[in-house]
Structure 1
Amino acid sequence: MEDYKKIIDRNYLMLLHSEDQIFGSLSEKFSDKLQLEERKKLPLIEQDLKSLDMENRKASGELSFSNENEALGAMYVIEGSTLGGNVIAKQLSKTEGFDDVTFNFFGCYRENTGFMWKNFKEVIDNEVSEKNYDEVLSGAKKLYAFLLNVR
């Protein structure tokens, strides 16, 4: 359970310092095509914190994205984690000691996980030109580095 709490804490700090910034960096075109309102995860992980009797807190690191493509790269990391998160939630829900865990964050899309990932991937594939791939990759690297170093 303590390892799970650490994972939730790190993901909470990552979302706290990135989600609004990512969504605010995206044009209306991406907002509509990606259905951003349905992709908000910060309120879900805050519910998980509460159910685990954990405190909301601030991170010690800084995180910023230079442009829309970097924001999309960071979003790729978050959306990609929903695929594994769904599997984690299913497995842990069968584990002793996890009976009362809510899995709001890891199970965010429930049975729609595949659809939401496919939608995200299609939009990225169709709307991001190859000349911008380096910027997308830069955003993904920034978010991974933040997640690995956040305390």
Structure 2
Amino acid sequence: MVSEYLKQHTAAYHDAAEELFNSKKIFNRTFTLEDYKKIIGTNYLMLLHSEDQIFSSLSGDLADKLQLKERKKLPLIEKDLASLSLENKTPAHDLEFANANEALGALYVIEGSTLGGNVIARQLSKTEGFDEVTFNFFGCYQENTGAMWKNFKEVLDTEVAEKNYDEVLSGAKKLYTFLLNVN
């Protein structure tokens, strides 16, 4: 299954992202509002430069199976930017996906961040200094987070042939690399 293949082959990227965003501080409750602003600002740039391209790369039938209309996150993270008084920035380099398989790999990174973001939102809502924070991006699916992740993985595993695993992995690596280097 391509979802397991991606998990194995992107583990180092995932770990690097957790390190970049000081994720350990979230669970020992030393994560600050400045740390949160960094994670929101970086994720904003990732979405700004990938979401529309990913969505336009995925066909009608595949888009329907993935419930793409329900997965749009850029407007949500823009609300978080505004509530945190962060300004929109632009990165120094472009991001492009060669085909639908690469777009699926990039979407894997975004959906994975949403899955983790739900945990982050729950944890930070119990952390001092986050009383007034709205978690539009990280809380986007609310109680449907598990179901949305399950749907995404099922479609991914059903629709991607083994011969295309490396293309999907390429898209995931492109987006992780962008995320890790955008600051």
TMscore range, shorter length? over 0.9
Gaps of 5+ in 1: none
TM-score by length of 2: 0.81
Matches for 1:41-56 after TM superposition, within 5 Å: 41-56=73-88
Q: Percent identity?
A: 79
Mapped partners of 1:138, 1:103: distance in 2: 30
Amino acid at match of 1:40: K
Mapped partners of 1:131, 1:96: distance in 2: 49
Q: 95, 118, 126: which one pairs with 2:150?
A: 118
Mapped partners of 1:29, 1:150: distance in 2: 32
TM-score by length of 1: 0.98
Which residue in 1 is equivalent to 2:38?
6
State the Cα RMSD in Å. Answer: 0.7
CA deviations over 1:85-132 (Å, ceiling 9, x no partner): 001000101111111110100111010000000000000111110000
Amino acid at match of 2:83: S
Which residue in 2 is equivalent to 1:38?
70
Matches for 1:1-151 after TM superposition, within 5 Å: 1-151=33-183
Amino acid at match of 1:9: G
Where does structure 1 differ by over 2 angstroms across 4 or more consecutive aligned residues? none
Gaps of 5+ in 2: 1-32
Tell me the CA shift for residue 68 of structure 1: 0.4
Mapped partners of 2:57, 2:176: distance in 1: 18
Q: Secondary structure at the match of 1:65?
A: coil
Paired residue total:
151
Q: Secondary structure at the match of 2:50?
A: helix
